[in-house]
Amino acid sequence: MIPPPHDHQPRKGSHRVSATILISPRSLTATGHPALARLQDAGYELVFTTPGQQPTSAELLQVLPGCVGYLAGVEEVGAQLLETAQTLRVISRYGVGTNNIDMAAARRLGISVCTTPGANARGVAELTMAHLLALARWVPFSDQALKAGGWQRRKGMEVCGKTLGLVGCGHVGRLVARFAIGMDMKVLAYTVRPDTTFAPSPDFRFAPLADVLCQSDVISLHCPAPGDGRAMIDAAALAAMKQGVFLINTARAELVDAAALAAALQSGKVAGAAMDVFRSEPPTGDPLVAYDRVVATPHIGGFTEESVDRMVEMAVDNLLQALGGSCN
């Protein structure tokens, strides 16, 4: 039985409520999840933001104060919000990134921040491969043209023998590398700290970023956004890439300079791009979404039954551990 998002009362037979935890990820506020019952059984009251919607700063300022725990999504969690949440002890991120959280403020205020590393890696990696093949064979374009009554065809590309460049080679990047090698691709991977024990094939090697950019037929991003706020894939990086390269971003929107990518698509330097992440979600008015050489998905990388289950279980574990288990 999935606890309904509007049910803020403890489950029957649970301990007396004495502390509150905020739940904000869109998939959890829309439908709930059985793992959340473990928090209620431990005596915590659950409060939810607006079902199925990313919460606004105003909503968070209204509901977060008074909570001891916060199971957070991708919404912005700034210093002002954290300073108002004087009882907050832990933020458990539903995912791996913390770029949406003011970590300096959290440290200053003594708020622990936990993540769920690897929980959604399989889902994101499989979506990356779906995007790669969708671009290589122009699947969305062909589908849309045919449904509009046309018979337009774009010549595709076979991926066998092509080079996939990975920017980032952690949980997701390693799975993508294995999948690509299984399709007879060569893989170059850039990462800040290469793990030389990862050597899945003679067709895989670690390389400097400059080599990945200039030698790859397809480039896929699997790393955090730079801390200084600058886009890693800017006009200079795009200029260094092969003519007609494909670019895939299932990591962080901040990694890519959107204006520079738009110019590269218009010039043909980038043949096509796929993205699952946006600076504003939903990406209202984002011109890139309308390009017929762009495959856009609504942040579904980790939105599978299996990934959601793993992320929720781990996020709940993190909350209970950080809060010391039962609140009674």
Q: What share of the chain is helix, strand, coil (3-state, %, to 5)?
A: 35, 15, 45
Q: Is the dihedral of CA 76, 78, 80, 82 positive or negative?
A: positive
76, 83, 281, 313: the active-site residue = 281
**C-alpha–C-alpha distance, residues 167 and 176, integer Å:** 11
- Assess whether 252 carries a catalytic annotation: yes
Element holding 296 (H helix, E strand): strand 294-296
Q: Is the dihedral of CA 115, 119, 123, 124 positive or negative?
A: positive
Active-site residue, from 252, 254, 293, 310: 252
281 is catalytic: yes
Catalytic choice (26, 174, 293, 299): 299
Phi-psi region of 262 (alpha: psi -120 to 50; beta: other; left: phi over 0): alpha
Structure tokens at 311: 């992320």
Give how far Cα 127 sits from Cα of 104, 216, 225, 295, 311, Å. 32, 19, 20, 12, 17
Catalytic site residues? Answer: 252, 281, 299
